[in-house]
Amino acid sequence: MLLRNGCAGRILKSGSFRSMSTSWWKHVEPAPKDPILGVTEAFLADPSPDKVNVGVGAYRDDNGKPVVLECVREAERRIAGNLNMEYLPMGGSIKMVEETLKLAYGENSDLIKEKQIAAVQALSGTGACRLFADFQKRFSPDSQIYIPVPTWANHHNIWRDAHVPQNTFHYYHPESRGLDFASMMEDIKNAPNGSFFLLHACAHNPTGVDPTEEQWREISHQFKVKGHFAFFDMAYQGFASGDPERDAKSIRIFLEDGHLIGCAQSYAKNMGLYGQRVGCLSVICEDEKQAVAVKSQLQQLARPMYSNPPVHGALVVSTILGDPELKKLWLTEVKGMADRIIGMRSALRENLEKLGSPLSWEHITKQIGMFCYSGMTPEQVDRLTNEYHIYMTRNGRISMAGVTTGNVGFLANAIHEVTKSA
Amino acid sequence: MSASSDHANSVFASVVQAPEDPILGVTVAYNKDPSPDKLNLGVGAYRTEEGKPLVLKVVRKAEQLLVNDPSRVKEYLPITGLADFNKLSAKLIFGADSLAIQENRVTTVQCLSGTGSLRVGAEFLARHYHERTIYIPQPTWGNHPKVFTLAGLSVKTYRYYSPNTRGLDFQGLLEDLGSAPAGAIVLLHACAHNPTGVDPTSDQWEQIRQLMRSKGLLPFFDSAYQGFASGSLDADAASVRMFVADGGECLAAQSYAKNMGLYGERVGALSIVCKTAEVASRVESQLKLVIRPMYSNPPIHGASIVATVLKDRDLYNEWTVELKAMADRIISMRKQLFDALQARGTPGDWSHILKQIGMFTFTGLNANQVAFMTKEYHIYMTSDGRISMAGLSSRTVPNLTEAIHAAVSSVA
């Protein structure tokens, strides 16, 4: 007995219907592996004892081990057993959001005092960007987003799934392995007035190339002239220079110029809370009334996505940032992580130079943050993986956090081998 | 034409304030009320007899195990979440002996509680399923239509609740599903229907199943109260298992918010039961593409607690005992409220309080009566007359009884 839509079947003796039909999902294609997270999957599957993972941007200590910060352990000890697990409000933990805004905008920010900021707890940086993209689609439906080339691959997915059309702007200059400032400024000038731009606040992912302070001022000025909207993705505050205040400089420059920006913040890296999914989305408004309205609309977007955000990670953050001792400890630990990475940058560069590499590796120490955009080709990366069991994304991005004193020599040697005849 | 150099103008200046969420807004209003007699029967979060939130003992034990384990790290979970948690969740809803699981035909992904599971499932359907319409029962949880609409599905309703009988409109349900286009998606509350508390009987479920399979309608189960409805985890999953047993495909969204008291930790799972293991694997890969641009990977804390409890025989057994105690307290509240209304001589038939199942009672009170009860008695509930039995205690039953009595006697 054949019924419609491929649902064939027969009635069993018991009278119940046994469907022998084909699947509704036969046509579903296997999706390509996520280019970043797929690297770790491949790494884990590799049995080689010498394997090195410099793929995903998760911090490792000098023994290559994941790190739980002391301030986090202490916060968790205080939390466990003490509080209930009731739903947070749709906008998340108010305390966590308050502390988080101070980090981005300054302890004594007038914008915070005047309640001009619409802010909600979000599912780490991804969740913050996605909420903003959905909000942008709903309330600026004719707008597009300008995204730097290159950027974190998931940025494209986020704005695409939010149905916001995308454009790109020049950013990375392959020849110099630095910033293509002139082309970037051209693109900013040529974009229609009032365009939306995605900017990495610091430690650009994947290139590690950031504008200088002077360049940020010029960018901000041009944004003023054009009336552009700046959306900052800040996933590495504290990780770039070791000083969270310094790493927020780009944002502060825009604020000084009077821009009403949007900002995604993440505690995945700088507090090591990766899997807890803790972040914040903020949108600066003209006044408190507008901020209340915008916040209510952000909540309307969160409600049909996950109702309200997870409480645990937010509690960890607010416990740490709300306690002066713990906050001090955190700042020390963040600096420690940033310093170790800066040290590994020097070490990798020195090793390559000592090996007599014909290429310039200056960019390793000029770039900043967790990643180094090595300039290697996908083919060279494949050789690193196949011949040396070194895992990284095929765009040549090295997660410096995965480099240790134990593996830097091996890594330098392998890179030298695959690039020396380039 | 120069751009505006007046930077004070926000591009979002025209954004109007959104209305409060009808369910979560009740708690907001309750919190603002200064009356010492106020009672929150709005959101479905369990309260003890003392009116306090409850963290289950097994959850505290699991937490301690986790916090004292120095080897635990906070790394990103895979996009699909914690593997142990996923396997255990599938076993919980489909049964440990489920053929579908043994044949690897089930793909399960960790999501953000029930809401997140529904949203991810719906987005997957909007992209990969040939029918874009989902039929939801009338009434249903207030957030359902928004979840499905934002995911890209179009929403229609099927008759479910009969105000006259305060029970199931079974004929209406069969007619509406019978006239749905072949292949349409149908949302089914696995047990303890929210907001009505009215569930089909086992025979009625069987009839629903036969009808749906004959028309190729795709079942999408929302299981937010497994264990909470009857006190038995297996009994509360019977409807889902009936469908899976016939070899057909379905989706199931699970939440641990209520039955493990993990509300704010946002722990849930989406399972898609497929015809073959190969299809299930491809489906999983596509689910990842939905999740990655939404939040990359799910939060680890709550899922770790659940996995810790589910995989340990003693903790699991303790959990079932605590779960039954919560369900029993609610059943006892039903009886107390019913008896009190009878004793008061309140007009009307209140037997539905006893017949309905799960956390909520659909009182049958109208919006005016609800507003009256809030204003005069500081009793908070959603305007559809739904009260959360979990928010009641022996101490507060008398006040609620008075309020209901006054409302039905004086407000049309």
Question: Going by DSSP bridges, is the β-strand pair A262-266/A229-234 parallel, antiparallel, or unpaired?
Answer: parallel
Chain A residues with CB-CB distance to B289 below 8 A: 31, 157
**Residues in chain A closer than 8 A to B283 (CB atoms):** 25, 28
d(CA B39, CA A247): 48
Residues of chain A with CATH 3.90.1150.10: 35-67+339-419
pLDDT of residue A31: 80
Tokens 């180094």 correspond to A372
Arithmetic mean of pLDDT, A214-239: 97
Catalytic one among A137, A187, A210, A269? A269
Residue-level pLDDT at B342: 97
Rounded-to-integer distance, Cα A56 and Cα A399, Å: 7
The pTM assigned to this predicted structure is 0.91
Evaluate if residue A3 carries a pLDDT over 50.
no
Q: Which of A273, A274, A305 sits opposite B294 (nearest CB)?
A: A305
B79-90 pLDDT, tens digit each = 999 999 999 999
Q: Who contacts B260 (Cβ-Cβ below 8 Å, separation ≥6)?
A: B56, B59, B267, B305, B306, B309, B319
Q: For residues B24 and B43, is the Cβ–Cβ distance under 8 A? A: yes
Q: Is A117 helix (H, G, I), strand (E, B) or coil?
A: strand
Q: Give residue A13's pLDDT.
A: 42
* Pairwise CB contact (< 8 Å): B53 & A84: yes
**pLDDT at res. A40:** 84
Q: What per-residue string of b and e applies to A298-308 under the rule 16 or more CB within 10 Å gives b?
A: bbbbbbbbbbb
pLDDT at position A14: 43
Instruction: Evaluate if residue B11 carries a pLDDT over 80.
Output: no
Cβ B355 vs Cβ B193: under 8 Å: no
Please, which pLDDT band fits residue A16 given cuts at 50, 70 and 90?
Answer: very low
Task: Give me the total of CB pairs closer than 8 Å, taking one residue from chain A and one from chain B.
Answer: 294
Instruction: Give the CA radius of gyration of chain B.
Output: 22
A22 contacts in B (CB within 8 Å)? 275
Of these residues, B258, B319, B350, B384, which one is catalytic?
A: B258
- B339: annotated active-site residue: no
pLDDT digits (tens, 9 = 90+) for B351-375: 999 999 999 999 999 999 999 999 9
Residue limits of CATH 3.40.640.10 in chain A: 88-322
Contacts of A143 (CB under 8 A, 6+ apart): A136, A164, A194, A195, A196, A229, B11
Cα dihedral sign, A355-A358-A360-A364: negative
Q: Which of A34, A85, A145 to mutate to test the interface with B (most CBs of B within 10 A)?
A: A85
Strand locations in A235-278 (E): 262-266
Strand partners, A149: A170
Under 8 Å between Cβ of B336 and B397: yes
- Reference B296, options A373, A99, A266; nearest CA is A266
CB A302 within 8 A of CB A85: no
Instruction: Tell me which residues of chain A, numbers 221 to 260, contact chain B at a CB-CB cutoff of 8 Å.
Output: 224-227, 229, 257-260
| A268 vs B: CB within 8 A | yes
Give yes or no for residue A8 having a pLDDT over 80.
no
Q: State the smallest CA–CA distance between residue A309 and chain B in angstroms.
A: 7
Q: Do B216 and A193 touch (CB under 8 A)?
A: no
pLDDT of residue A22: 66
Name which of A164, A165, A285 is nearest B14 in CA terms.
Answer: A285
- Give the whole-angstrom CA distance, residue B307 versus residue B83: 9
Could you say which of B169, B176, B199, B222 is catalytic?
Answer: B222
Tell me which residue in A16, A27, A273 faces B210 most closely, judged by beta carbons.
A16
- Optimal mutation site among A11, A16, A24, A255, interface B, most CBs of chain B within 10 A: A24
Average pLDDT, chain A: 92
Note whether A29 contacts B: Cβ–Cβ < 8 A.
yes
Q: Give catalytic status of residue B141 as yes or no.
A: yes
For residue B254, what pLDDT is reported?
98
Give the model's confidence band at A5: pLDDT under 50 very low, under 70 low, under 90 confident, else very high.
very low
- Give first-to-last CA distance, chain A, whole Å: 65
A11 band by pLDDT with thresholds 50, 70 and 90:
very low
A290 contacts B15? CB cut-off 8 A: yes
Q: Cβ of B276 and A309 within 8 Å?
A: no
- CATH top class, domain A35-67+339-419: alpha beta
**Strand, coil or helix: what is A304?**
helix
Answer yes or no: is pLDDT of B54 > 70. yes
Tell me the per-residue pLDDT of A347-397, one tens digit each, with 9 for 90 and over. Answer: 999 999 999 999 999 999 999 999 999 999 999 999 999 999 999 999 999
The span from the CA of B393 to the CA of A404, in Å, is 59
Whether A289 is catalytic is no
Q: Which of B8, B16, B55 is nearest residue A85 as measured by Cβ atoms?
A: B55
* Contact between chains at A87 and B79 (C-beta distance less than 8 A): no
pLDDT greater than 70 at residue A123: yes
State whether residue A262 sits within 8 Å of chain B by CB: no
Position A29 scores a pLDDT of 80
Kindly report the CATH number that applies to the domain delimited by A88-322.
3.40.640.10
Report which of B145, B125, B23, B89 is spatially closest to residue B268, judged by C-alpha positions: B89
Query: Least CA distance to B275: which residue of chain A?
Result: A23
Residue type at position B309 = V
Poorest-pLDDT segment among A52-61, A112-121, B213-222: A52-61
Give the separation between CA B140 and CA A311, rounded to whole angstroms: 27
Across the range B233-250, mean pLDDT stands at: 97
Q: Average pLDDT for residues A194-203, to the nearest whole number?
A: 97
* Res. A9: pLDDT tops 60: no
Residue type, B64: Q
Mapping DSSP onto H, E and C, the string for chain B reads CCCCCCCCCCCCCCCCCCCCCCCHHHHHHHHHCCCCCCEECCCCCCECCCCCECCCHHHHHHHHHHHCCCCCCCCCCCCCCCHHHHHHHHHHHHCCCCHHHHCCCEEEEEECHHHHHHHHHHHHHHHHCCCCEEEEEECCCCCHHHHHHHHCCEEEEEECEECCCCEECHHHHHHHHHCCCCCCEEEEECCCCCCCCCCCCHHHHHHHHHHHHHCCCEEEEEECCCCCCCCCHHHHCHHHHHHHHCCCCEEEEEECCCCCCCHHHCCEEEEEECCCHHHHHHHHHHHHHHHHHHHCCCCHHHHHHHHHHHHCHHHHHHHHHHHHHHHHHHHHHHHHHHHHHHHHCCCCCCCHHHHCCCCEEECCCCHHHHHHHHHHHCEECCCCCEEEHHHCCCCCHHHHHHHHHHHHHHCC
A28 reaches B (C-beta below 8 A) = yes
**Which residue from A minimizes the CA distance to B59?**
A81
Side chain identity, residue A64 = G
Q: What is the pLDDT of residues A151-164, one digit of tens each?
A: 999 999 999 999 99
Please say if the pLDDT value at position A15 is more than 60: no
Least confident of A81-90, A286-295, A298-307, B397-406: A81-90
CB within 8 Å: A310 and B7:
no
pLDDT at A4: 37
Instruction: Out of A233, A249, A295, A361, pick the active-site residue.
Output: A233
Q: Is the pLDDT of residue B7 over 50?
A: no
Question: With an 8 Å Cβ cutoff, are B1 and A193 in contact?
Answer: yes
Contact B302 A274 (CB under 8 A): no
- Is A44's Cβ below 8 Å from some Cβ in B? no
